[in-house]
Structure 1
């Protein structure tokens, strides 16, 4: 091959090589830009998800606070204020011993209300004892059967204790108000991996799905969600109701 043609071929291959390098560089640039855009988009999605979760947690916290305030107002109005008003009206008709007993009962109600709103230091009391203490007060109004089986208790967080306690309160309060039950059975089982709470009554029961707001189900849903628990409610008209909650214990 003549020298001139040989040089032309070399130059041609050089340009082809440069073109291929350019295409490869362009392809890599497009890939990097696409990846960067995807990462940025995913980052924005994660940030938005975090913001949505924070907003949801805040809304749930506000809702639970409002529910607690409503419960406090209802307890004050229906129980304590009503009892004190009756004592005032009966001042001239009852003797001192009867009035003293009425006042004592009213003070017990206030003590129960205070305990329910602000349970003792959760780090200083086991969950089964916290529940037992609360149920001792409820026994004044209904027959309670409490069963506990505890294999392990050291790794239950204060958040789990508080939310389990509030869920139990919600169930007991609604049973006392609406179920017309004569017996409530409470069962607590704690193992190293799981915590199971069961609450059963022999009351009226109801058709599932028709009284979710009446039994404070949203309140229970939010508290169960906060501790990553799942639950099931079994009930039929005139056959009572049974609530079972399962929470995995974080190791």
Structure 2
């Protein structure tokens, strides 16, 4: 009788073991299934995020291209076409020497426009020299003071290009609208940050009335691309000061 009870206990423990093994296997299987579902769900989220980012990037690039086209059309109409039209209307009244000067001025405008549209060779020049080279011909039209305090640190080409384009936009706005006689440009680069300051002594403006301009929209877009924060300080007849700062990673 005792032997029979012992056999029953062994059978019970065997079934208990089988049951525990089954439950453990079931539990692990459910965990694996849930884990695989989670991976699949995360992949779908990542794929959706990638499509959204790609779409947003494409829309952003199209917006920048459209803004560049508008700026090009504006530059052609306001500067080059207007200058050539003046030459056409006065061609019979001016001396050859005067016409030669007007044509040279138009050619200079075209060269400047071409320079603005063509990306510089960013691998062969550092940011301070790039800015200095751009400001040299500007000095013929307005007094430009360039201060720079930099260290030898690698600046990525996208950062160089966007900082350079921001400067171009702001200088163009100053020359066209500010009626300024002097511009101060300052560049500071340390181990941790890059700071750009552009200040003019022009007539200033009310920010709310100009916040939608093509130039300022381009400045905002390019600052966003390099994760730079910026501030524009201006008042009528008090000049304009632009300050941008970004972390160097």
Q: Secondary structure at the match of 1:16?
A: helix
Deviation at 1:207, TM superposition (A): 4.8
Tell me the distance in 2 between the aligned counterparts of 1:97 and 1:215: 37
Residues 65 and 41 (structure 1), Cα distance of their counterparts in 2 relative to 1, 3 Å cut: same
Runs of 4+ aligned residues of structure 1 deviating over 6 Å after TM superposition are none
1:81 aligns with 2:81: yes
Tell me the distance in 1 between the aligned counterparts of 2:12 and 2:185: 88
Deviation at 1:39, TM superposition (A): 1.5
Deviation at 1:246, TM superposition (A): 2.2
Q: Give the TM-score normalised by the residue count of structure 1.
A: 0.88
- How does 1:1-251 map onto structure 2 within 5 Å? 2-153=2-153, 155-208=154-207, 211-214=210-213, 216-250=215-249
Tell me the distance in 2 between the aligned counterparts of 1:205 and 1:12: 93
Tell me the distance in 1 between the aligned counterparts of 2:207 and 2:99: 44
Tell me the distance in 1 between the aligned counterparts of 2:232 and 2:169: 14
Deviation at 1:224, TM superposition (A): 2.3
**What count of residue pairs does the alignment treat as equivalent?**
249
CA RMSD of aligned residues (A): 2.2
Deviation at 1:237, TM superposition (A): 4.5
Q: Give the TM-score normalised by the residue count of structure 2.
A: 0.89
Residues 85 and 216 (structure 1), Cα distance of their counterparts in 2 relative to 1, 3 Å cut: closer
- Runs of at least 5 residues in structure 2 that lack an aligned partner in the other structure: none
Q: Secondary structure at the match of 1:216?
A: helix
Residues 206 and 12 (structure 1), Cα distance of their counterparts in 2 relative to 1, 3 Å cut: farther
Q: 1:126-162 deviations in whole A, cap 9, x for unaligned?
A: 2212211222222333332211112215x12222221
